[in-house]
Amino acid sequence: MNLNKMMKQMQKAQEQMQRAQEELAAKTVEETAGGGMVKVVMTGDGFLRSVTLDPEVVDPGDLDMLQDLIVAAVNQAKRRTVELASSEMQKAAGDLGLPPGLV
- The residue among 84 and 99 whose pLDDT is bigger is 84
Q: Model's pTM, two decimal places?
A: 0.73
pLDDT in tens, 52-96: 999 999 999 999 999 999 999 999 999 999 999 888 888 777 766
Give tens-digit pLDDT for 41-51: 999 999 999 99
* C-alpha–C-alpha distance, residues 72 and 93, integer Å: 32
Long-range contacts: 92-100, Cβ < 8 Å, 24+?
92/16, 92/17, 92/19, 92/20, 95/16, 96/9, 96/12, 96/13, 96/16, 98/13
Return the pLDDT at 3. Answer: 85
Choosing among 3.30.530.20, 3.90.470.20, 3.60.15.10, 3.30.1310.10, the CATH entry for 3-96 is 3.30.1310.10
Q: Phi/psi at 66 (nearest 5 deg)?
A: -60, -45
Higher pLDDT, 91 or 39: 39
